Structure formats: structure tokens, C-alpha cells
Amino acid sequence: MLYFFRLLLILIHIDQETVLNWFGIEDPNDPSSFSPILENEYSSTLSVFEVEPSTNVSLETLKLIMEGLWDKIQDGLTLADIENVLFFILFIRFVILAIRYNLKTSLYITGIGLFAAYLWYRHLIDLVTMYRSMLTKIPFLHNLGMDAVQLISLHRQTFLTDIRLGDNVHWYNPGQAIYYAFIKGIVDIDPETGVRHYIDPISMVVSNLKENDQSKMVILYYKIYNKIIPTLFDMGTKFWSQLSGIAAYAVITRIGKKYCPYLVRWHWTFLLIIGIVEQLFIYFVFRVSYFQSFVLVPQLKAYAAASLTGDVDPNLAFQINALNVLIAFFVICHIGLVLFGMFHAIWGQYFYFPFFVENTELHIGPRSKTSIYSGGNTAWQDREEKEKNFKRFSPKIWYGWFGRGKQKSWEITTISRKFIAGILKKFKKKFRR
């Protein structure tokens, strides 16, 4: 927590060692990274006063970062790598905006981008957990699938612990807190016999009835507590889990539209709209995986068992490999699209996707170009571009990186021409004197 306040005051000394430690990359100039064999050799010659301080950030630091990240990518992508890159981008953007504006404005803008990227990140977690069995079969995304398996096992362990003990109940989960308060309040367990006694008002009323009336009410009493109440709670939990996202969206982006930044409303609405189409691809991938695992693979094993030489049917093997490629293609494209949107959100930018962007902006309207908190560029919202799209039979697909539009100023020839022209102007100024 103290580092956070130091970060706000720009008191952290940013050097090569700090940047490399952020990405978890060892500094080759750090004596502590020497191997134990070489440590004894250098221990007699190195002292505390001879250790050189960490160098400043330079092109060599960028080279070390690229080499270290490339070595990490060879082992596969993980959630930790994605988080490190996101927060590094957030830090760089915070520093740039703090220099351009001030600390307060920079904190607001980066906070808006962080919230928008968090929406994409939560969606990425959902996709990774759904595709976990398929990700473990893809070499580059194997570690990502293992992270999803660990997340689910941790969630189940926490859930079972909460069910048994009622621990880890927090204020931001009011339904769970009310449920455990109700359970702890009405159940009294005898420490000697282990018998459970209900001490709620209904149980007290039933216990004070006469024996004839009590025998008639006991069946209904236990039916209410053992079946009806748990069933209603389970239904309410599932209903709330499905409705909570829509409820939060309606409260924040609709009711609180005045206070919700345009960037958050745009990305959140875009996520909800693409969620309708995403289900088609998700179900398609799962049906293909089911057909491969429960139809083709058993046939392949049966053919190999029936064969005297143990050979496999080349036709079945080709179908299984083709479906593996098809599944990997859809999964990588789906996760790549989410990563594409998430990195645009963390930069406070927008991107164009035909049909979906138009429907998103029909709900929330055009971006305000006068506010610095509304985010980056939306070239497709310009009046001239709208008129061109209306006249064209098909809409334009690509609007450049970060929605800047396809400008000629980004061409290499134009950039080189401007660079040479600038040098000539400076050269002429010197001769004028």
C-alpha cells in the first residue's frame, strides 16, 4: 500500500532493475543472479562498495525486456503475463498523462481505462474457464488452460469451506452474508451429542404445541426447512448470478449515465451485444469437441483394438486432426478478439467492428469530442464518414489503429518526406544567420 502512494507522488526511482523486476526478468548485470559455482569465485573479489548501481532505463533495457518476454512466451501465455502487461501499460499511460495534464486528471483517465479493461478481463476469465479442456491441448495456450483449472479448483474449495464453516464472507456479497447469518442464528449444535436444534421463532412455536398437533406439524416443518428453503435459496442464487450483470449494467450505465464515462458505457454495451453472438460459436466448439471425444475417438480405439497389427484408421485420424485444427482456430480467434478489445480499453481507445459498433452506439449515442475523459478516436462517427457509409452498399471495415482512421500521414513515404523536410528547414535556418 505504501508503494501505491509513492507511485502517486512519482517517488519510485525508475531504473533498469525496477523495470526488469516488474516483468519478472533477471538483470544480467545483477551480481545476485550469478550461479552458485561462480559465486565462490567472485566472492573474494566483489565487495559491497564494488557493486555497480543499476543503470538507467535505455534501449538496452528495452532489448532485455523483449528478450525476457520472448523467453517467457516460449513457455506459453499465462494470466500473470497478461496482468503484468496490462498494469505496465497502465503505469506508462499514467506517467504520460501526468506529464501532459496533472496527477488528478491522469488518475481519473487511467482509472476509467482500468475499469473498462476489467470488464474485458472478467469476460476473458469466463472464456478461459469454459475453454479450459481445449486450451490444455493447444501448445501455446496450455498454461492458460492450467490457470483456468486452478481457478476453478480454488473456487470450489472456497465454496465448500464457506458452506461448512461460513468463513470468508465479505461485505460486498450481501446475499451470502445474510444466508450465513440466518444459518448461524437458527441452528444450535450440542457439543456433546452433536444434535442440531433450531431456535428460530417458528421452531419455538412448533415445540410448544401439543403432542398431537406437533406430530402433524413436524412433517411440514422439516419439509420447509430441508427442502423448500434450500430450493428457494438455490433458485435465487442462480437467478441472481444470471441477473446481476444486467442489473449492474442498468444501474451504472442507464440510471447513472450522467456519472458513467462514455468509454465504460461503450465497452460494456459492446460486450453485452457480442455476448449474444458468442454463444453460437461457443456451442459450436463444444459440439465439435463432443463429437470428437465421444464419437470419433471411441471408433478409432475400437478399430485399433480390432486390428491385428494395432494400426489406426487413417480416415478417422485425419478427421480428429482436422477437428483439432478447427477447434484451435475458433478458440484462438475468440480469445484474440477479447484480448484485442481489452488492450484497446486499457489504452482508453475504441475499435471498429461492423454491425456491432453501430448497434452499440445506437444505445449510448456518439462520443463527446470536447471531454478529455471520453477516450480516444472514433473516426466512423464523423459526419463525412457517416455520409459515405450511407452512400456505399457495404460499410467500411477498417478505420486504422485505435479508431484514428486511415490517414495518409501514417504512410512511410509521407513520414520520411516530412522528416527530410524538417532537416532541410533547420539547415536553411543556420545559413540565414
Which residues are CB-neighbours of 287 under 8 A, at least 6 positions away?
A: none
**CA dist., res. 251 & res. 257, Å (int):** 8
For residue 50, pLDDT over 60 is answered with no
Q: Locate 414 and state its grid cell.
A: 509521407
Q: Can you give the pLDDT at residue 48?
A: 42
Average pLDDT, rounded, for the chain: 76
Which residue, among 371, 402, 340, 359, has the nearest Cα to 112 in the 3D structure? 371
For residue 301, pLDDT over 70 is answered with yes
Q: Can you give the pLDDT at residue 191?
A: 72
* pLDDT cut 70: percent of the chain above it: 67
Q: Can you give the pLDDT at residue 234?
A: 81
**CA dist., res. 257 & res. 271, Å (int):** 17
Contact call for residues 76 and 140 (beta carbons, < 8 A): yes
Q: Can you give the pLDDT at residue 428?
A: 66
For residue 124, pLDDT over 80 is answered with yes
Instruction: Give pTM, 2 decimals.
Output: 0.69
Average pLDDT of 383-391? 66
Q: Tens digits of per-residue pLDDT, 73-106?
A: 667 778 888 888 888 889 889 988 999 888 899 9
For residue 219, pLDDT over 60 is answered with yes
- What beta strand segments (E) does 175-228 contain? 187-189, 196-198
Q: Can you give the pLDDT at residue 9?
A: 47
Q: Can you give the pLDDT at residue 333?
A: 92
Q: Locate 176 and state its grid cell.
A: 451470502
Q: Can you give the pLDDT at residue 116?
A: 93
Q: Can you give the pLDDT at residue 271?
A: 93
Min mean pLDDT across 145-154, 244-253, 275-284, 340-349 is at 145-154
Q: Can you give the pLDDT at residue 411?
A: 46
Higher local confidence (pLDDT), 358 or 310: 358
Q: Can you give the pLDDT at residue 342?
A: 93
Q: Can you give the pLDDT at residue 181?
A: 73
Q: Tens digits of per-residue pLDDT, 345-381?
A: 999 999 988 888 888 988 888 888 888 888 888 888 7
